[in-house]
Structure 1
Amino acid sequence: MEQANPQKRKYLFTVDILIEEESNGRALEKLLHLLNSKTIEDYNIKQGVELGKKIESALKDSIINKIKDNELKKKSAASAPPSDPYRHIWDKLTSYKECNSLVRLTVVKGKGIKLSMPCRIISTDPPSGNFTAYHVDEKKVYLLNINEIDDIQA
C-alpha cells in the first residue's frame, strides 16, 4: 500500500484589506497583529502606510511661516528696483505662486549640473534675487537664485 506524501507548496496572494479604526496607525497595528501568525510566512505592505504625515505637515507649515515672515520684513525694508532686468521672470514666478501652479523649473547649479524640478513656487524676493520652490517629488524646499533658472514650464 502506497501512502501519498503530499508536499506542501507555497502560494502568493494579492489582496486589498479594509480595516476600520480611529486612525491609520491603529489600523496598521491591527493589520500587523493579524498578519503575524504562524501560517503566514512573509508579507509586504505596499500601500496605505500614512505614518509621519503630521510631522511632515508641521515642518512644511513652519517653513512657509518663516518664509512669509521674511517676506514681510524684506517688503517693509525695501522694494524691488524699478530697472530690474528680470522683472518679467519675477512677475511669472509671482503669478505661479499666487495660483499655486505646478511648474517645471530647469535649473543650472554649480559646475553646469542641470536639474529638472517639478515644483510649486513658495516665495519670491526680488531685492536679493532669490526665490523658494517646493519640489513635489522630493518633498523638499529649495532656495534658488534667479540666475540659476534656465527654463520655466507651466
Structure 2
Amino acid sequence: MKRKQSTQEEVGFLFNVDILIKSSTNALAMQTLLELLNSDDSVADFRIKSGMELGEIIDATLKAKRQSLIKKTAESNVKTSTPDHAAKATVQESPKAKDEAPFDVQNWLDGFIHDNRLVRLFINKHGKHASIPCRILNYDLSNQLVSVYHVDEKQVYSFKLNEIDEIVNT
C-alpha cells in the first residue's frame, strides 16, 4: 500500500486587530502602519477600516462658498430684473438650488476611502505637475491635507487640497 505524500498549501488567515502607533500626526502614523504592513511578504492584503481623523474645516469652507455663490446668483438675478415684482420672483426661485444636492467633497472623498478605490491624482505642487495612481487613505479637513498611498512606489504622500488639480476614477 502506497501512502500519498501530503502537500501543504498556503492558507490565508484573517485577523481583526487594533494597533496603537505613536506619532506626531495621523498621516505619519498611517505611513508607519502602511510601511509595517508592506514590509512583510506574508501580509497578502489589508484594509484599514478606522483610525483616520476627519476634520470639519473644508466642509465648513465649502458650505460657506456655496452660500456665497447662491447669494451672488440671487443678487445678480435681482440686478438684471427691472420691475420690483420680477426681482421678488427671481429671489424666490433661487431656493430651488437648495433642493438639488450640491457637490460635497467630503462625501465624495469618503466614497473613495470607503471603497478603497484606485484613482489617479493630477498634482500641481510648486509648479511641478505629476500624475500618480493611488488610493486615498485619509483627509484632514482642519489642515486641508489628503493622504494617499502611491500603489507603484508603495509610499504614503500627503497633499494640500489646493495642490490637487483632478481626481480621476480608474
TM-score under structure 2 length normalisation = 0.45
Higher relative contact order, structure no. (Cα contacts within 8 Å, ≥ 6 residues apart): 2
TM-score under structure 1 length normalisation = 0.49
Q: Larger Rg: 1 or 2? A: 1
